[in-house]
Chains A and B, each alone.
Chain A
Amino acid sequence: MNPNSTVQKAGKRYFVLLILGLFLACLIMSLPVYTFTVGVYTKKSSNTFVGNEKYKEALAEVEQTADEYRSQGLAVEISETVTERTNSKGETTSLVAFTISQTLKKNVWAFLPSSLPSAWVLRILTAGMAAALILAAAGCRGSFSTEIKTLDPGLRRMRGLSCLFLLLDLILVPVFILLNNYLFWRRHSLFQGDLLTDGKEEWYRVLDGFLFQGKMGEDAADALKNLSAEHSPLLWVLLFCFLLALAGAAGLRFGALQKPFLRGALYLFVIVICVITLYPYYVMLITAFRSNAEALDMYFLHLLPTKWVWQNLSDIVQRGVPQFLANSFMVAGGATLLAMLCGIPAAFAMARMNFKGKKFFLGFVIMSQMFSPVVLLIGISQLMTTLNLNDTLWGLIFVNAAFNQAFAIWLLRGTFVAISPEMEQAARIDGCSTMGSLIRILLPMAAPGIVTTLIFVFINAWNEYTISTVLITTASKKPITVGITQFSSFNMIEWQYLFAASLLATIPVVILFMFIEKHLTSGLTSGGVKG
């Protein structure tokens, strides 16, 4: 079989797939998937009972009006709501309100000429579709039978671009749907309830133009009172059509589908993971700069604070946050220093010397790591009282250093073992003492591992919370993790202050952690225990 004909067949198949996908997308966009219901006429009866004369009178009048609408060719429906009320004599009467509502069906294209914000998304979407089609057609001109690898770069670029445009469309469809949802019931109900007043007039004008071709004018606000909008789930099928088209375009571009699709899925997965991971930090950031009223507002519509309240920062400065940060810094710094001073010699002995009980010591160290201070909370607080270290930063320094000893020794030993002892031996022959060779030769060579350990211990001590809550009672001695809890009392939490302080506590350690990430992970699982 001629290989060229296989290539040609595959190329044509992808091209048909692309066109089919786009065609289906157009078809779905032409279906009346949006349903709007608008109350065009309301008649309230006087106090009455359902079924009596006044009621029938009002109903007849309403039906007459409805017929008038119908004769104009509008699809209208009559609905009634009954409000029961008791008058001063104790009789129950009803107030009946008749509403004539008009149902408007719109397809997606109807949004195109409107001045709704979502129309912009649709315009880009349509342009993207057209561009994809044109580029794909141009890129395929007379080149169906050419192998992908030998294809002219210009044509290849055109096919690639068409792929790109379809990808853009794939992203825009949900944006369009969500934006419409948001506009049509959320924002509208906020306007209706006067919860949001900025741009209200403008909104009614736009909606009037879109739904009634601007006929309502001044009465638009009235007419739109009962507006509700529904979209059919059919729109989501649109996504699938674009996926189909994308498959075609990707096939044209790459010749095979599996790889680019796996690639796309990979990026999607990574993006989703990153978004979820960053979400709490985003919440923390925006809440830290919102006013108290905004922080407690569910109807907060904006991605960013409407006004950045830098005042929050100066407020927390006055409420002792710099002192907390300084305490944290002292505790973490002190604990790191102490852990390193005790840990480096121990790790050095473990890595370079042979002695009885070496294995026992390793076991001792690893065992000590098993116990987070929390389970020994009571014992530690008792011990601190005995040692007179209760409510002092020194107590925290000692505890943090001790409980990070295991990790420090473990990481350092791994680093030292990985460095060949030859240099030290040479130095020793030249008359250098053990201590001298450690300080002058080994430590500079082990610098990256030492910095990693240093930062890791620092972060652990900085983030420690439980022991500090138990040991520290004086407000001015609290480290930041305990200090921030003063913003959340039982009945009132000052979220904006809490998060502003949290932000200050988080940023430095996150940055530090990013530096050591690479070294740390290899040290944690393998480096430390080998040797």
Chain B
Amino acid sequence: MKKSNGEKWWGPYLWLLPSILLISIFVVFPILIVFRLSFSEISKAGVVGGFVGFKNYIDAVNLPAFATVMKNTFWWVISVVGLSTLLGFIIAMVMNQKFRGRKIARSILIFPWATSLVIQASVWNYIIKYEYGSLNSVLLNLGIIKEAVNWRSSYQIEFIWECAVGIFVTIPFVTFCILSGLQSIDESLYESARVDGAGFWSRLFHITLPLVRPSLSVSTVLNIIYVFNSFPIIYTMTKGAPANKTDTMITYLYMLNFYDRKKGPANALSVIGFLILCLCSGIYMITVMRKEEEA
């Protein structure tokens, strides 16, 4: 397969080599390790024993918190991805208008994206504190509430707050993805639709949505992956307390492995999470490939 200008057939692979090496060692290898460990017996100190089949998986599913954690993970992903996509879409529609100060508004909007999640979570943790939190202080001083409100009176409410912070930090990503899709839409399409007497809603459903669908699906699937993997918000705000009731899968497997030292089930959970992500990425790949064929 010799190239006309004298390059060896393995030329391109040489160019890819560093990248392949890097990904193989630090991404693919850990996957293999996790797979192997999930089928092995592991002591609390981390000494790896023999093959035990699906014992770790059975142990993982039988953990008392397993059902709660799975339920939480489901709601966490659904609520954060769903609401941030909806809100991000609305904000992107607004930001796509021409108005004075648009550049400043866009720069401000990007702040949460650029900030480390630990820092965001710490700030919100402070804001909703009962005794001295900033939210109580501000509302009291404005006279909107007359007595300090306990914003985190139960773990359900705390979980809702965690989801809210998740939504807050995810919105910029969605907004900017959709915005890039919106900006590529030809203005003349709207003009001709307006001439035909199409109202706001019919323009939205017949022009905007179909045309931003590729960006929307890319951002949604990426989002599912990020949100699923999100660790710092829950870890900083509640650490899964009380009794893993606010844990998602990721924080739970961290706790299992590094605090409770139940390494076997932790690895099994890792693999389960990995497989869920594989499913999402599969869908994502199909979307991307289809988009590429369209382009």
Contacts and interface: CB of A to CB of B under 8 A. Distances in A.
Nearest to A358: B12
Given A182-B142, A499-B123, A277 B112 contact: yes
A232 B254 CA distance: 53
Interface stretch (B64-72, B202-210, B283-291): B283-291
B111 interface: yes
The interface size bin for chain B is 35 or more
B170 interface: no
A75 interface: no
A366 interface: yes
B82 interface: no
B22 interface: yes
Interface string B1-30: 100010101011101101111110111111
Contacts of A517: 106-107, 110, 176
A346 B142 contact: no
Contact of B137 (A178, A300, A364, A459): A300
B23 A368 contact: yes
A229 to B, nearest CB: 10
A436 B257 CA distance: 49
A514 B267 CA distance: 39
A383 B15 contact: no
Most buried by A among B19, B214, B273, B291: B19
Most buried by B among A278, A283, A378, A484: A378
Given A300-B137, A529-B295, A273 B19 contact: no
Contacts of B291: 529
Contacts of B5: 428
Contacts of B21: 342
B253 interface: yes
B19 A375 contact: no
The interface size bin for chain A is 35 or more
B284 to A, nearest CB: 7
A378 B258 CA distance: 9
Contact of A283 (B114, B134, B225, B274): B134
B31 interface: yes
Interface of B: 1, 5, 7, 9, 11-13, 15-16, 18-23, 25-34, 37, 46, 91, 94-95, 97, 99, 101, 105-120, 122-124, 126-127, 131-134, 136-137, 140-144, 146, 148, 176-177, 179-181, 183-184, 214-215, 218-219, 225-226, 229-232, 250, 253-254, 257-258, 263, 266-267, 270, 273-274, 277-278, 280-281, 284-285, 288, 291-292, 295
Given A280-B120, A375-B277, A521-B179, 4 more contacts: A342-B19, A350-B16, A377-B253, A506-B115
